[in-house]
Structure 1
């Protein structure tokens, strides 16, 4: 079942839990290797895979990220497929056809694979919002199986933009070339800006699967510093609790 929603700036925000589980054996590594210098104890890292559903008073519906997808998704080699996003949406009382905007924070398989089912866009009436730098860097399965099927509905932005009333995207590169976060009032939906709570306390802690760990750490420090000054609320992708108040 979806988590309890919050109302932010008049918009109902519902965290959807697409899956819970560890990374599969193909890329599983000790936490000390995945977050070098983080001082974390070795042990299994159980990830929660969150997407976010936004419903405003005018009836507009926006989805942030689409999860890991089906059993045949590009995430199947390492993530706990299939994801349960369709069921989470149904439990929240939303049909995929009602969603007008889908924001993809980036094209890693656990954030974007649920956008396509059986070769067709799941959200048939939606614009899919992606940063230009992310689209330009797409390759392999994410290009062929995800980006190509949605290209007719793709809205590419370059940097900061308002993509729905009151909903803004902000380029936060480093984890991937076009990684973006999503802002709604005091809420920041952070994608993979932070992957482990240790990085909130110390943004300099690298993550081994960042495309550019140095840039990712600098971006994380800058963005979290600004959000902390605002006393913002984070809506995270992989923490146990989806909401974190700074």
Structure 2
């Protein structure tokens, strides 16, 4: 069964679409990290070290549901065998089976928040969620030259034609207690989703952070950030202003991670 966490009346379900080794050594992905920082990151997330010493990472989406109401899905995984991520990610994904195991009918998904347009976050978007608006930041659409060249024809054009592409600018409330936060840097229009219930907070991060080493030192750049200085400022600001917060992360091996990390 997929793992869940509950805040008030909202259940957040972590949906594992797949997992596999990253395509480059982790020291190249985080070239400024020290040996001491790697040791601490490995202590926090030991399963991220693959059998060959490389970076083992999952690919997740998250479903948010208040009681038995409509579902907000954050990200859409790596996708089927012919997905745009097939050249580097472990396709085919199993998001449909994960949704079924969680008791979620894709028809009940009314909003798909795409944190950004990298191929491992959009794989099942579109036809599987025919009742859902797909929410993207305007700044992300303005930077399409940074993404897969087939993205407009394969995903964005059909969504726009069907009236299912919702374009937003900055922070946006989705439902009471659930809002989109603009978190640029990894990509120009990257966004995360914040759930607040009373004094409790959970942040679905997208790729605001991708490895535990960025919790050890949020200033560390990741080689695949479009704007590393902006990503660092955003990451440091979010972690500083929202702490304490539970982080729901697509790529850490534990989907729900408290911040600050318990001693």
**TM-score scaled to structure 2, two decimals?**
0.86
Does the 8 Å CA contact 1:2/1:14 hold for their aligned counterparts? yes
* Cα shift at 1:92: 0.9
The answer to whether structure 1 residue 31 and structure 2 residue 26 are counterparts is yes
Q: Distance in 1 between matches of 2:256 and 2:154?
A: 31
Q: Which residue of 2 aligns with 1:138?
A: 144
Which residue of structure 2 aligns with residue 164 of structure 1? 175
1:53 aligns with 2:59: no
Secondary structure of 1:86's match?
helix
Structure 2 matches for 1:16-95, cutoff 5 A?
A: 16-23=15-22, 28-39=23-34, 40=38, 43-57=53-67, 59-95=69-105
Bigger drift between 97-106 and 131-140 goes to: 131-140
Q: Highest relative contact order (Cα 8 Å, sep 6+), 1 or 2?
A: 2
- The 5 A counterparts of 1:1-246 are 1-3=1-3, 5-23=4-22, 28-39=23-34, 40=38, 43-57=53-67, 59-116=69-126, 121-139=127-145, 140-151=149-160, 152-185=163-196, 186-228=201-243, 231-246=244-259
Q: TM-score, normalised by structure 1?
A: 0.91
Q: Any stretches of 5+ residues in structure 1 without a counterpart?
A: none
After superposition, the C-alpha distances for 1:166-196 in whole angstroms (9 at most, x for unaligned) are 2100111000000001001100000000011
Deviation at 1:106, TM superposition (A): 0.5
Length, aligned pairs only: 235
CA distance in 2, matches of 1:138, 1:9: 38
Write out per-residue CA displacement over residues 138-179 of structure 1, whole angstroms, 9 at most, x where no aligned residue: 241222212222122011110001023321001110000000
Structure 2, unaligned runs of 5 or more: 40-51
Structure 1 residue 96: Cα displacement: 0.9
Compute the displacement of 1:58 (Å): 5.4
Equivalent pair of 1:18/1:83 in contact (CA under 8 Å): yes
Cα offsets for 1:28-60 (capped at 9, x unmatched)? 222111101112489311111111111112512
